[in-house]
Amino acid sequence: MLNIALPKGRLGDQVYALLAQIGYDCGSIYEQNRKLVFESKENNVRYLLVKPSDVAIYVEHHAADVGIVGKDILAESRPDVYELLDLGLGKCRMCVAAKSDYMEDKDRTLRVATKFVNIAKDHYAKLNRDIDIIKLNGSIELAPILGLSDVIVDIVESGSTIRENNLKIIEEFMPISARFIANKTSFKFQNETIRQMVDKLSMVLNQIEGR
């Protein structure tokens, strides 16, 4: 039985639809109720619905064998897992944004508000820029408006939230998309099963892209 950790929400639904298409469906049980575990004995898979930011933790600790998780979360928490496939779903970008009239003063320590502390630190370390991190958990866009920070580092999908809040994107530095990850032990002991899943997934993704 292969345990698959899916992120709750739209991405999880999309990926489940893909997996169901290539022979890993759970019948109609998936959408029906608020259960967190779905199992298909005949297809030998069990789906676990977990908070998106917890997928990598489930996989790293072997509670799930494989999982689907955004690159933003992988880059932030750097779990010890194999990153086997870029699904190309849930595409967005990691951006630096600031108020639309913002001009950078390189002579001052930059105040950065973000949910992604490690990503922001790494990014500015590469630029040799001194920063103060302000860790927020949501509504990051408010920070520059209220003068809490100079800039924000956050994921941007369409950019409409940024525009509506009178902010502008200064820099894009990391393309984000959903990744298929596997636990290292599972990958060794259930190699055939996982490899087959990866091959089938990449085939069906190529078909969609080619269309």
Nearest to 6, CA basis, from 191, 72, 93, 18: 18
Residue of 39, 83, 122, 171 interacting with other proteins (CB under 8 A):
83
Nearest distance in Å: CB 6, other proteins: 19
Q: By CB under 8 A, is residue 25 in contact with other proteins?
A: no
Q: Answer whether 136's CB lies under 8 Å from 115's CB.
A: yes
Burial class (CB in 10 A: 0-12, 13-18, 19+), 43: middle
Which has the closest alpha carbon to 162: 210, 92, 111? 92
Within 162-191, the residues that bind other proteins by CB under 8 A are: 183-185, 188-189, 191
Least distance from C-beta 84 to other proteins, angstroms?
6
Answer yes or no whether residue 84 interacts with other proteins by CB under 8 A.
yes
Q: Assign residue 62 a region (left: φ > 0; alpha: ψ between -120 and 50; beta: otherwise).
A: left
Nearer to other proteins by Cβ, of 166 and 191: the residue is 191
- Residue 193 is encoded by which pair of tokens? 């099963």
- Minimal distance in Å, beta carbon 50 to other proteins? 16
Per rule CB under 8 A, is residue 61 in the interface with other proteins? Answer: yes
The CA–CA distances, whole Å, from 52 to 59, 67, 165, 210 equal: 12, 10, 26, 28
By CB under 8 A, residue 81 contacts other proteins: yes
Q: How many residues interact with other proteins (rule CB under 8 A)?
A: 16
Give the footprint of other proteins on this chain (CB under 8 A): 60-62, 80-86, 183-185, 188-189, 191
